[in-house]
Amino acid sequence: MLQKNGKNICALYENKKAQPAWLSYVSVTSADDAAKKAKSLGGKLLQEPFDVMDVGRMANVQDPQGAKFALWQAKKHKGADIINELGAMCWNELYTPDVDASRKYYSGLLNWTYKISPEYTEVHVGDAGTAGIIQIDEKMKGMGIKPHWMPYFAVADADGAVKTAKSLGTKDYFGPHDIPKVGRFAVLNDPFGARFAIIKPEM
Q: What is the CATH number of the domain that holds 39?
A: 3.10.180.10
pLDDT value at residue 18: 87
pLDDT value at residue 119: 87
Ranges of residues in the chain whose predicted pLDDT is under 50: none
Residues 40 and 96 in one domain: no
Residues 98 and 139 in one domain: yes
Q: Distance between CA atoms of 25 and 196, rounded to whole angstroms?
A: 15
Residues 35 and 104 in one domain: no
Tell me, yes or no, whether 82 lies in a domain. no
Helices (H), the chain: 31-40, 99-110, 138-142, 158-167
pLDDT value at residue 143: 87
Tell me, yes or no, whether 23 lies in a domain. yes
> What domain range is 62 assigned to?
2-74
Tell me, yes or no, whether 83 lies in a domain. no
As beta bridge partners, residue 149 has: 94
Amino acid letter, residue 23? L
- Domain count within the chain: 2
Helix (H) or strand (E) holding 26: strand 25-27
pLDDT value at residue 186: 97
Please report the sign of the dihedral spanned by the C-alpha atoms of residue 146, residue 153, residue 49, residue 125.
negative
Q: Distance between CA atoms of 203 and 194, rounded to whole angstroms?
A: 28
Instruction: Give the model confidence (pLDDT) of 101-133 as tens digits.
Output: 999 999 999 999 999 998 899 999 988 899 999
The half-sphere exposure of 71 on its side-chain side, counting CA atoms within 13 A, is 32
Q: H/E/C letters for each residue in 107-159?
A: HHHHCCEEEECCCCEEEEECCEEEEEEEECCHHHHHCCCCCEEEEEEECCCHH
Coil, strand or helix: which one is 195?
strand
Coil, strand or helix: which one is 7?
strand
Residues 118 and 65 in one domain: no
Q: For the chain, give the mean pLDDT.
A: 95
